[in-house]
């Protein structure tokens, strides 16, 4: 079994790399891949960079070159639902691109032609994630992605209301779309580093490392159960 895990930031990747056994690393198209091992499972880590294009590109490179059985995207996100707090964990049961808009052609906001509005994560992986025991509060629901660092409360409320989303970030739904089109089971998991309140970039800096460690711990436990 081979598992691919995509991160937007080096801090997110390094947090998980510390708890795995690194076998080798190499570069493809200027991306560094880390081949690791845990419980005789092959695990490939890669930092995509921020945003939907970077993450989609990295996902396809991972699929084409590594022949992975599963893909995960883990890292941090901003809470946009009042019931979700900093350091909580969100399991992305469904993903949506909140900035995708072809509504003039009679599609709903977020709906991608020939793909859909919401992309469903793999049921098997979601159910394993739901059973993970953790000190953090765990939420299961919609994660919204877009090429915007959301720090405007009005925008946050609009995304939360429109898509019933728990948190927002900048990569997960594009990874989901590539996996969906390539028939690769996937799951997105995020730890909350900030809550959108107009000054959340300050909270983000304070909690990035802590949230990265928390989601890495969650991911290690999940990997042991696959």
Domain ranges for the chain:
2-225
Region 197-219: mean pLDDT is 70
Q: Is 169 among the catalytic positions?
A: no
Kindly state the average pLDDT of the residues 209-214: 79
Q: What is the percent of the chain where pLDDT is above 90?
A: 77
pLDDT digits (tens, 9 = 90+) for 170-204: 999 999 999 999 999 999 999 898 777 655 454 66
Architecture of domain 2-225: 3-Layer(aba) Sandwich (3.40)
pLDDT at 206: 65
| Residue 104 in tokens | 């003039």
Question: For residues 177 and 159, what is the distance between their CA atoms, to the nearest angstrom?
Answer: 19
pLDDT of 3 above 60 = yes
pLDDT at 10 over 50: yes
pTM for the model stands at 0.93
The share of the chain scoring above pLDDT 70, in percent, equals: 95
Task: Give me the catalytic one of 108, 120, 194, 205.
Answer: 194
Is 12 annotated in the active site? yes
Contacts 24+ apart (CB under 8 A), 218-221: 218/74, 218/89, 218/129, 218/132, 218/134, 218/136, 218/189, 218/191, 219/5, 219/16, 219/72, 219/74, 219/189, 220/16, 220/19, 220/20, 220/38, 221/132, 221/133, 221/134
Q: What is the structure's pLDDT at 195? A: 76
Give helix 10-17 / helix 200-225 axis angle, nearest 10°: 30
Contact indicator for 220, 21 with CB cutoff of 8 Å: no
Is 117 in contact with 89 (CB distance < 8 Å)? no
pLDDT in tens, 43-95: 999 999 999 999 999 999 999 999 999 999 999 999 999 999 888 999 999 99
DSSP 122: P
Q: Under a CB-based contact definition with an 8 Å cutoff, are residues 188 and 176 in contact?
A: yes
- Please state the rounded mean pLDDT for residues 104-132: 96
pLDDT reported for residue 202: 47
116 or 199, higher pLDDT: 116
* Catalytic residue (choose from 12, 93, 99, 169): 12
Average confidence score pLDDT of the chain: 92
């Amino acid at each position: 079994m081979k598992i691919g895990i995509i991160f937007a930031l080096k801090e997110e990747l390094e947090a998980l790399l510390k708890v795995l056994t690194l076998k080798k690393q190499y570069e493809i198209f200027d991306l560094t891949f880390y081949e690791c091992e845990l419980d005789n499972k092959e695990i490939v880590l890669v930092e995509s960079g921020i945003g939907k294009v970077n993450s989609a590109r990295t996902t396809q490179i991972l699929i084409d070159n590594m022949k992975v059985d599963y893909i995960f995207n883990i890292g941090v996100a901003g809470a946009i639902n009042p019931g979700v707090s900093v350091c909580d964990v969100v399991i992305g049961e469904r993903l949506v691109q909140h900035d995708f808009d072809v509504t003039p052609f009679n599609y709903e906001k977020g709906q991608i032609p020939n793909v859909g509005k919401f992309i469903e994560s793999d049921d098997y992986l979601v159910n394993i994630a739901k059973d993970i025991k953790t000190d953090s509060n765990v939420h299961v629901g919609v994660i919204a992605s877009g090429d915007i660092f959301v720090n405007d409360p009005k925008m946050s409320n609009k995304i939360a209301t429109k898509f019933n989303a728990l948190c927002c970030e900048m990569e997960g739904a594009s990874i989901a779309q590539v996996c969906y089109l390539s028939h690769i089971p996937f799951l997105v998991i995020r730890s909350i580093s900030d809550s959108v309140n107009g000054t959340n970039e300050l909270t983000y800096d304070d909690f990035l490392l802590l949230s990265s460690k928390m989601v890495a711990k969650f991911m290690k436990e999940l990997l042991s159960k696959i």
